[in-house]
Structure 1
């Protein structure tokens, strides 16, 4: 019976927010659409600014570009389906579509973790080993490191996906989430191999989150020690300002995840709706907010934007009528 269901299952139903009254569907879809629009405009703007300005084509900003592309892709993979559910009542996603979405959700999350590691390495060398920075951190080296950050998750996520595809699905086909993820899909599987798949998935997730996090904590702790040794307060502020965007971005990615994991570990339980909202927030908020952090916390990008805005205004004023 289980095998027959597994073979005939052709789609899943995205539940979204189970406690949401129907009269709010339009409002939720509009909010999610605005979030998606913010992600698209913000991250495409960052990519355009860096690639169009030769002065910004430095290692630090190349890492920002990789992160912006990741955020843009993540929003595109996750948001259109949940928007169409609440806007058009289309909550069905195909079996292959759900597994494809699950792959990209976790692949992009792991890639973000390793890109943040590269970002921390860039700042660590810049502040702790400033004389060696021009040699150790070049555009080519950063591009290679970011390439590795994109490559590492690939075999890990393929292992997770193929292991999940090999399971039987004999429960319901309802995904209690706004998009397909490993936990939601595993909750619909049955058989003796499910526990093994869950353990492997958890081990991979912990490895991909905690290994980069350990290096990131070491890097920023070392940076803080160096900053505290600077004799003048102006020098300390100036040095700290060179890594505040990276600290904000890293905190925005890791802190909410750590809160949810720690809360679950100590026995604090969330309702299904609360859990879904928290996961959606810590998944999508960084993608929407990161471009603002790049612009207002990074002096070079801010100056480039001001220059472009001023040039545009002057051009409009002097244009013939």
Structure 2
């Protein structure tokens, strides 16, 4: 008898997958979120406890494989349709019911994969500025119990993972507003067990909060904890050697708060911001001012007194 592939029975549809600080995960139809204008208050994103908020948000389809990378440098996988659908206000499923996470292990990057292309790489960055590039094929046969993706120093954590083709420029951004751009081929491909090499030299107390691949005709979007943000032309970031101090990306002040996210964006995309209280706002990237590097940005979101922006997601607009 021929086996029926489960995937063939499941309609391929656009979905939002959210993962909270306390590791609750759920899947929702994309149109759950309505668009709002910049600077608005947002809608309540989910009925979470005071102590919980959305940390990872992914726009994907039900058929993609989702790779979950953790702060401990491990990687796990699920198909998007294996994540239970829930309403906007529902808590979701504890991720530990789906993945065999170790104690104190938190998911820090979520990547969707359609197929395991031998010419593709995953590029990783850590809080302490270490970077690493590994061929995507090395992640093809994952165990349910997860695998090591990078070998971390004791005081370090994996903060971001991106797809690359081996020929891109990479940008790293720090919470105190520094950024460095270097050619990806400054970093040779290494196996899963390797530690990686220095991507940026950090000032004491500073840490890397974001990493992305630069693309032509794109801008760098930077967002801060107090809801400030801006787009800056990629031409303002000259390519440097890996491991340097970088350039000033955003002028961090008490008013702006620390930088919480950095992404390379195009004007036809949308931005979703999520606060620690679970408020979600969705706005067009084209509405965000394009201003130079060493500035503090403009107010993107009105946050309540004790609320701050916790995370951001960028997505392509749906027609």
**Normalising by structure 2, what TM-score?**
0.24
Structure (1 or 2) with the larger CA radius of gyration? 1
**Normalising by structure 1, what TM-score?**
0.24
Between 1 and 2, higher relative CO (CA 8 Å, sep ≥ 6) is seen in 1
